[in-house]
A = this chain, B = another copy of it.
């Protein structure tokens, strides 16, 4: 057997999150049967991404240029700074088209368990960036997890002396969500933050 090239591809594909060895084999056969339409373009796209994608030195976003497209965009409100854990969260907010400010990617959350302190995260550059002025509001858009909220409180403390408004995302019933399926924490948060129908 000299299937080494095919086996090598299967082995690498199986390292992707969400793909086990079985789905990696399936994907490999699928790719080989679509050589011109998918396999070659995917190989080129990966090569291009490996060569060209950079981490934005200002916000931590991924783009082919540094500063990234969002940081360069004059139409974005530079006085609004949204702090997110990860690039995937930045992408989620961009897809919602609900935010026209700029971002700061932390690169994770504080976690005593995993030994992740402020020095492991993009915290100092954030403090420095806010301290340079121009930012009036920092939105801490961190996940509603224990680590996410711990990190939010820590950042709120660190930024409190810089004279900017610090906010967090609202907790409440997800749009389209049914009360019956919600956890108690979300329900009580939604009740506490109830709004007038006026």
Contact = CB atoms under 8 A, between A and B. Distances in A.
Nearest to A65: B2
Copies of chain A in the complex: 2
A contact face: mostly helix, strand, loop, or mixed = helix
Nearest to A3: B63
A35 interface: yes
Contact of A5 (B3, B35, B53, B87): B53
A88 B13 contact: no
10 contacts: A1-B69, A2-B65, A3-B64, A4-B64, A5-B52, A5-B53, A6-B49, A12-B42, A39-B46, A43-B44
Given A8-B45, A39-B50, 6 more contacts: A2-B63, A9-B45, A17-B27, A18-B19, A25-B91, A40-B47
